[in-house]
Structure 1
């Protein structure tokens, strides 16, 4: 389950950055491409986000995280590059 969480953490972080890139860069270039990409990128990111949060709760007991560590892992999903930090700090040794 930890390997799955590592994969989802990295994928969620990448999808978050791709979503930001689409809305901040592609949209500003006045390309209509961003409208076409918004739904699939947003849907993928949403599914990965829900998976990340759910699996974090599932492996909370297995990893013997404190409540503070769980909150940091959960907060990592809201901050750009946060999931990469979580993967390095909390999941590298798992």
Structure 2
């Protein structure tokens, strides 16, 4: 399976945005205004994008000859708000 850097950047950006929407919009709607529907929708989209990001990061390791340490940092960035934006700027 081959993935381009451009495709990984798109997945990375979408994953970051979905995480921020989940944390900043969907979670407050659920816990403050008792509207859990948004968490279901955004949470599912974010979950799929998160898995695509992790797989894409591994494929980028192979393609760009990243060290295991670089891969670990890029994967760690996936669980931090704004992390994928940092990984994109620094490693791609």
**TM-score, length-normalised on structure 1?**
0.86
Kindly indicate whether residue 17 of structure 2 is the aligned counterpart of residue 19 of structure 1: no
Gaps of 5+ in 2: none
2:40: which partner in 1? Answer: 39
**TM-score, length-normalised on structure 2?**
0.88
Contact 2:13 2:84 in 1 (8 A): yes
CA RMSD of aligned residues (A): 1.2
Distance in 2 of aligned mates of 1:50 and 1:87: 17
2:11: which partner in 1? Answer: 8
Aligned length: 88
